[in-house]
Amino acid sequence: MNPLTVRAAHTDDVAAMAAIYNDVVATSTAIYTSRPSTLPERRDWLNARVGAGFPVLAAEQGGELVGYASFAEFRGAWPGYLHSVEHSVYVRADRRQQGVGSALVRALFPLAAAMDKHVMIGGVDAANEGSLRMHERLGFARVAHFHEVGRKFGRWLDLVFVQRFLDAPGTPRAT
C-alpha cells in the first residue's frame, strides 16, 4: 500500500472532504445530523477554520484524500476556554481502522501545542467503539458520558467526551 501523507488541506480537497463527511452523515451516528453538507458549505467551513488560524489537515494515500481532521475553539470563543480546543476527524469508509485517523489526530497535537493550547477534547458517539479505542491509544481519557443528548435514526444517542493534555496537567498560563 502507498504511504500515508498528512498535509495541510486546501480548497482542491473540498469535494473529497464533502464526500467523506456526507458518507459519515448518511451511514453513522458520528455526526448528529441527517443533513448532508454542500460543497459551498464545506468550502466555507475550510476557509473559516483556516481564516481563524486553525489547522485543517488532509491525509492522502495513493493520490487520494482518505481523511481529514481539524480543531477549533472549545465551547465557542469564551475567554476561560482559551487554552482548550475541540477536534474532529473523519476517515473515508474503506480506510478506517488502518491508522489514518490516528495519524491525523497525532499530527494535530504539535500544532495545538504551538498555539499554547493545554487540552484537546473530542465528542464521540458512545456506540463508536472504534473511535473511542483510537482516542484511548492516543492518550485521551473518557471524562464524561452524556446520556440521550442526541437523536438520529429514530433513537436516542449518548455522547462521550474524551480529553488529552497537550502539556503537563496544571501547567501555568499567563491568562
Tens of pLDDT, residues 107-132: 999 999 999 999 999 999 999 999 99
The pTM assigned to this predicted structure is: 0.95
Here the cell at position 163 is: 480529553
Q: What is the pLDDT of residue 78?
A: 86
Mean pLDDT confidence for 136-140: 98
pLDDT at 77 > cutoff 80: no
Task: Report d(CA 25, CA 88) in Å as an integer.
Answer: 14
Task: Report d(CA 68, CA 65) in Å as an integer.
Answer: 8
| Number of other residues whose CB lies within 10 A of the CB of residue 3 | 7
pLDDT band at 173 (very low <50, low <70, confident <90, very high): confident
Task: Report d(CA 41, CA 107) in Å as an integer.
Answer: 25
Structure letter (DSSP) for residue 174? -
pLDDT in tens, 78-101: 889 999 999 999 999 999 999 999
Q: What is the pLDDT of residue 175?
A: 64
Here the cell at position 48 is: 473559516
Of 65, 57, 135, 127, the C-alpha closest to 95 is 65
Three-state secondary structure call for residue 27: helix
